[in-house]
Amino acid sequence: MPKKTDTVVIGAGPGGYVAAIRLGQLGVKTLIIEKEYYGGVCLNVGCIPSKALITAAKTYKKIQTADTFGISVQGAKVDAKKMQEFKEGVVKKLTGGVKQLLKGNGVELMEGTARFTGKNTLEVKTKDGKESVEFKHAIIATGSRPIQIHGFEFDEKQVLSSTGALALTKVPKKLVIIGGGYIGLEIGCMYNNLGTEVTVVEMMDQLLPGTDEEVVKTLHRLLKKKGMDIHLEHKAAGIKKGKDGVTVTVEGKDGKKKEIKGDHVLVAVGRRPNTEELGLDRAGVKTNDKGLIKIDDKARSNVQHIFAIGDIVPGMALAHKASKEGTVAAEVIAGKKGASLDHKVVPAAVFTDPEIAYVGLDEKQAKKEGRKVKVGKFMFGANGRALGAAEAEGFVKIVADEDTGEVLGVQIIGPDASDLIAEPTLGIEMGAYTDDIGLTIHTHPTLAEAIHEAAEAAEGHAIHAMNK
């Protein structure tokens, strides 16, 4: 006999488990199917473990530079195994919490690999065999996986994916990174702070392609200052593996080749949606040429009762975006009126050193949309809290409509950017103007004052900076 449920959720990542919990809260009978990780890649081998290790590495770097504050520290050492134990402890606590929340909200759990057999049926391959599931609604939340390059297939020993790079029990002396996107740079900064010689190879003419050019130029300068070796407009052409590590051959756009040696090479050139093994054709669900499922503002696929969320749909591959999509899908299924997606205000953060965060439009994007803009910028070098923390590099930039002052976008590079972006995100969501931010009293001395000053700068009357 097949198992029957109202809604089946395929994948228990930050999109899937959130959708399942919300369905449970709304009284919808729900089954969630997970192949490997409760909490998904993000919680187990991505966002959370990487941030735990990034924080540990920054702490070590702070200790190494404590003399800046008049503090003498000697004998600080890195124990990579203990760092891994700390990371695993954080992951274990959070993944256990996800399972408890699912069960506590009445969601049934099933471990296995799901495949559609029809528009309302699934087959799940479990460790005990195969099980059939009948459903009224389905939410596909199967996430993504790292893209591999021919000749650089992952062995997680010498050729690493992000998963392997976050599991090393020995800090490498030299690390070569193929890909200058956020994953490669976050891991690169982490190991750089631990003392690794890091080389980054990027095909495009800038790091973090698609990110505000002024932010990227600042980051590039600061990474070089930290000792990272960066090769733009170069591609990976070959690799030789040896007992002492790897030799990576890279080729510039001029055709010239060079060899770069490392203990490992990390391949971080993007991620691919996990959709090809789902039997989507049997359910009638269509994908584009990249394997992504197009959805409407209710998170529905072209098949009305089948929804898709997270990395398998177009747009930025962000955990918090997936969670919002999961909430909307759940509420639509439960019949809540007004539930819909609005991707206009989705913040993003890059946990490099220094951090980057942004929301809305940058200056170039706004002008491309035909908007006349004014820009307010405030440097952290003029912020007392940043100076007192010896983290005074970077800036806050606000892009606003020239005539009305409506805030269109904010870009931040500097200390705690990932947290600071929350205020501008709420501001844009609520339709704030630069005057709204400027008239709001900000606590002194804090990093958040930089947002206030940038808004004032956009209006031409910043206090702690010269106005243009």
Active site amino acids: 444
Burial of 169 (0-12, 13-18, 19+ CB in 10 A): exposed
Eight-class DSSP state of 14 = T
Q: Which of 354, 331, 178 is nearest to 251 (CA)?
A: 178
Q: Which two tokens stand for residue 279?
A: 């039997």
From CA 271, how far away is CA 287, in angstroms rounded?
16
CB atoms within 10 A of CB 404: 10
Residues with Cβ within 8 Å of 63's Cβ and at least 6 positions away in sequence, in order, are 73, 76
Q: Could you tell me if 318 and 348 are in contact, meaning their C-beta atoms sit under 8 angstroms apart?
A: yes
Backbone angles phi, psi at 68, to 5 degrees: -55, -35
From CA 225, how far away is CA 189, in angstroms rounded?
12
Helix (H), strand (E) at residue 365: helix 363-368
Q: Which two tokens stand for residue 305?
A: 């009762």
